[in-house]
A and B are shown apart, each in its own frame.
Chain A
Amino acid sequence: MDSLDLEILFALQDGIPLVREPFSAIAVHLGITPDEVIERLKRLREEKVIRKFGLFVWKRKVGVVANAMVVWAVPSNRVQEVAEFLSKFREVTHCYERRTTPNWRYNLYTMIHGVKRKTVSEFVKKLSDEVGVEDYLILLSVREFVRRSTGPIRPEGWSGSEPSDIN
């Protein structure tokens, strides 16, 4: 990945314009052709620097309800097994292990989507029973204050070497 790639990603951070040729403006700005912009984006997508390219909806608007974060206290020797089990469910969209603190013992975090608010606790109880972890908390979202794309990216600060893959 070079600095031109980063310039492209930086320019597209807030999305592409709704014009017939959305990649032409950025191409002109960078002094390259639209085809080159597109080739670079395709490569970045193949290399998974771009995790997804496409349209992102406002979930509440399109009828998906309840953003539930469920945190679990799992014995460390079971984390892998429990995580893999929970991840199999379609409704579990994210599953992370996180650091604990002296006053916060929960180490496994799952985001549950697409489950109606009033059935979330039933659904989670089912997960809990199936996986055999009883120590959990459901942290329902009450308000969304910020929801935006990853950023900022700083093209000027780019050293040219790609960081090693983590996770």
Chain B
Amino acid sequence: MTLKATGRLDLTDRRLLEKAQDEFPLTVRPWENIGNDLGITEKEVMKRLSRLSRRGFIRRIGPALDAKRVGLQASTLIAMKVPKNKIQNVANMISIYQEVSHCYQREHEYNLWFTIAAHNELELEKIIQEIRRGAGIAEHDVLNLPSTRIFKLDVRFQLT
């Protein structure tokens, strides 16, 4: 992904972010390896990453997992019709569930969309009902949309 110049990242920052996204070295001293590739010291890599992190550019550095391979066998996408004045509260409640990885408000009468990953279908259904009842949403205002086939899943923009 080429990063647009935001005016707040210098060239080295942008190269650092791209290197760390696309070619992260799994080594004992990864920042040193990255520094070698960019022609800067390990210390400078860490300093820049720390600053970028404080400024909110970095979400995290770590693994993105295949949910099914780590035991999360059941997942789905849920869409709900939530009254506008309740949407923040409902979203706050939903975000407490660690099983929810994404939650967005969208421009449609089904205005709250979120993904849930659970160990099995029973657990998944339980979470869906808990969320629905907790939010005070009627069953007919909820869409349960599990995937049946995955044609493309871009690891650079992972969206489990």
Residues of A within 8 A of B (CB): 1, 6, 9, 12-16, 18, 20-24, 34-35, 38, 41-42, 44-45, 47-59, 61-64, 67, 69, 79, 83-84, 87, 92-99, 101, 104, 109, 111, 113-114, 137, 139-154, 157-158, 162-163, 165-167
Whether the pair A96, B151 counts as a contact (CB closer than 8 A) is yes
Q: Which of B136-155 contact A (CB under 8 A)?
A: 143-155
Number of chain B residues close to chain A: CB under 8 A: 83
Whether the pair A150, B64 counts as a contact (CB closer than 8 A) is yes
A49 to chain B, nearest CB (A): 4
CA distance A145 to B56 in the complex (A): 16
Q: A9-B65, A93-B157, A146-B94 are in contact. Are A140 and B30 (CB under 8 A)?
A: no
Set of chain B residues within 8 Å of A144, measured between Cβ atoms: 103-104
- Given A13, A55, A69, A99, which contacts B146 in the complex, CB threshold below 8 Å? A99
Set of chain B residues within 8 Å of A151, measured between Cβ atoms: 98-99, 101, 117
Whether the pair B28, A93 counts as a contact (CB closer than 8 A) is no
Residues of B within 8 A of A (CB): 1, 3-6, 9, 17, 20-24, 26-32, 42, 46, 49-50, 53, 55-73, 77, 79, 91-92, 94-95, 98-108, 111, 113-114, 117, 119, 143-160
Whether the pair B24, A55 counts as a contact (CB closer than 8 A) is yes
- Given A12, A94, A157, which contacts B63 in the complex, CB threshold below 8 Å? A12
